[in-house]
A = this chain, B = another copy of it.
Amino acid sequence: MSGRPKIFDDQEVLNKAADVFWRQGYEATSTEDLLEAMGIGKGSFYLAFKGGKKELYEKALALRSDQAMAQFRKELDAADDPVEYIREFFRRIAHSTRAKHQNGCIFGNAVAELSNIENPMMKRAATHLQGLEGLFLDALLRGKQEGTLHSKMEPALLARLLLNNWNGLGITRRIYPDNEALSELIEIQLKILG
């Protein structure tokens, strides 16, 4: 190895870029915005991400997905009661700052914004959300086996329902960015888990 050393770390700048995309969405974010947030110049950027903004978005989303899934998996595996863990997962939403509420869910945002203008990228975001649904299902199946899930509903359908609740909250929390109100809503929703 030789050559001039890089002044940035790929993961780090991807995370910074992800924050900007999360806040502003894909179209409203200019490469200029991204360069500023990442703290690097055009030369470095286009060398590292030849696909430009699009490649950056895909990688930023994939990174966030990996991080979120890994954390969920880890916490779920460590949880005594997987169903209770799902409850905690949703209750966390009602402990956010207003700024976070306004951002919604980065994957839901991607699905909403890109379904008709960048279908391949939308599909990848959709896959991330299906991954979340899969984790819900894992938790529910384990809950069923261990006896903490009493619902008579089919777990797969219940997982789908939870995904829809999650997707809804990504919008609703922006309309009502109030933790008290959100908490009430979430508790009602969780009643379906029995």
Contact = CB atoms under 8 A, between A and B. Distances in A.
Nearest to A99: B116
B111 A113 contact: no
Interface residues of A, number: 43
A172 B169 CA distance: 12
Interface string A160-192: 110111111111101110000100110011001
Contact of A175 (B23, B103, B126, B184): B126
Contacts of A83: none
A170 B112 contact: yes
Interface string A23-67: 111011000000000000000000000000000000000000000
Interface of A: 23-25, 27-28, 102-104, 108-109, 111-113, 115-117, 122, 126, 129-130, 153, 157, 160-161, 163-172, 174-176, 181, 184-185, 188-189, 192
22 contacts: A23-B116, A24-B117, A104-B115, A108-B171, A109-B112, A112-B113, A113-B113, A126-B174, A126-B175, A129-B175, A157-B185, A160-B172, A160-B184, A160-B185, A161-B185, A163-B175, A164-B168, A165-B168, A167-B168, A168-B169, A171-B171, A192-B192
